[in-house]
Amino acid sequence: MLKQAARLALTLACLSLVAAPLVHSFDFGELEKAVSEHTLDNGLKIIVMENHDAPVVSCVTYANVGGVDDPKELTGLAHMLEHMAFKGTTTIGTTDMDAERIAMAVEDSIWDELRVERKKGALADSARLVELEAAFQQAQDDAIAFVKGDAWNGIMEAAGAIGINAGTGKDMTQYIMSLPANKLELWMAMESERFINPIFRQMYQERNVVAEERRQQLENVPIMRAIDAIQSTAFAAHPYGISIVGHMSDIQNYSRQSVIDYFEKYYGASNLIVSVVGDVKPKEVFKLAEKYWGKLPNRPAPEPVATVEPEQKGEKHVYLEDPAQPMFGIAYHVPQWTHDDWPALEAAADYLGSGRTSLLHKDLVKDKKIASAAAVYLGWPASKYPSLCLVYGFPTPEVTPDSCIDAALEQVEVLKAELLPEEEVQAIKTRAKSNFVNQMNSNLGMAIQLASYENDWGDWRRLFNELDRINGVTAEDIQRVAQKYFTKKNRTVGRLLTAEG
């Protein structure tokens, strides 16, 4: 499964490289005509795009829930639920559902007792803890005896499905795969079933897997810990400040009932979008959707996050020490990606820190040789709500993060002071359009984009207006947003220092 920490690590490694493919000739008018939509009586929206180039189809189930929706003391629960969605249903993944339910009930009962005792801290009965821990382990062993591992995936893979995956972000959770077009009904039946009749088996074993993920992808990776610290320092109120995987103590506090409650709140039909792109006919897809997805309960859609990050009134600083390569990060608060300033911010981020022609690379890496890499990530950790523009880099040996920070801030001031030449603006816009179009160069990419725009904009049609947003950017816009957002009081500066000894 796609993990946010792994994705960021990959992004950080790749952002210093620039890809400059040619902008493809897309007739967006014709593409839009190929898209149809239908809303079921229970509120679930189906988006279908026909592409008859090959007898294949890509399917996305897009849930409007992510890390921002995690409740207090249960951070990371959206990510945990993504794991549990692959554990099967009442009929898939078990040798005896009735017996398994009994065994899981015993698991839950013992865990509840164990959790209460642990919360007593120093007042806990140590002998009782040992007794409960042994009983809990035995209960897990008893419950897992009824499990047929990977049964759900196995059925889909046997039918030719590829790319079976899922990913949890701060704003969303998506479940994806591609398969032969003649297996669409099987996907409809299987995908809907796991959200209609889920059984969160192997709950406590999977909780341990998630805890290990946190250790391996965040706690044991100094760069990720530094970025997490910058993120949590930058956000004083908004849940963007909490990592997707959640706090370790919260992960270890999950119960099966907490997952069930979360699922029932956020996985109702009105909070889901199904996107299907490929060799299909919309009327047939809608008919199948009525048959299978129409069974999903109609629950009220949860309200968006109400917490608004207050305006930052002064520069913040965060320091970490570790026997590792040093790095620096400068995070500026920026608006959400649906804001009118977003395309200009993308252009500013491109010019400042995307590839070998960027200001940061030319100054810090090529000319001064004080950094091995320097780049910009716009929209960290997500962008449905106001987020961050992260300037980051890695000092060369014997160079301090502060030296790189000073140099990076000088280049930010250059961006704010100088109006970009028109040819540079056109080059930036060409790259932006190419990157945008490349996201739709596959059935799966198109399905994800349609669902994403429907979710965040409230209308998938806005996807086909994106080039207009990019084309409208001017040099004056780029300078204006740089001056507006890249200010001292609006930034958080982080340093990962190499610990001695």
Angle between helices 4-14 and 222-234 (to 10 degrees): 100
SS3 for 63? strand
Statement to judge: residues 281 and 326 lie in one domain: no
Instruction: Give residue 26's pLDDT.
Output: 58
Are 281 and 36 in contact, with CB atoms under 8 Å apart?
no
Q: Per the domain annotation, does 311 fall within a domain?
A: no
Statement to judge: residues 159 and 206 lie in one domain: yes
Instruction: Give residue 31's pLDDT.
Output: 86
Statement to judge: residues 277 and 363 lie in one domain: no
Q: What is the mean pLDDT of each run of 10 residues along the chain (501 residues)?
A: 36 30 57 95 97 97 98 97 96 97 98 96 96 98 95 96 97 98 98 96 96 96 96 98 97 96 97 98 98 94 95 97 95 98 98 96 98 98 98 96 98 96 96 93 96 97 95 98 98 94 56
Statement to judge: residues 186 and 231 lie in one domain: yes
Statement to judge: residues 268 and 325 lie in one domain: no
- Backbone dihedral angles phi then psi of residue 300, each to the nearest 5 degrees: -60, 135
Statement to judge: residues 39 and 185 lie in one domain: yes
Render 77-109 in DSSP notation, one character per residue. HHHHHHHHTTS-BSSSSBS-HHHHHHHHHHHHH
Instruction: Give residue 7's pLDDT.
Output: 36
According to DSSP, residue 420 is labeled P
Angle between helices 203-214 and 77-84 (to 10 degrees): 130
Domain enclosing residue 192, as ranges: 32-94+147-295
Instruction: Give residue 499's pLDDT.
Output: 87
Closest CA to 473 of 417, 418, 433: 433
State the total domains in the chain. 2
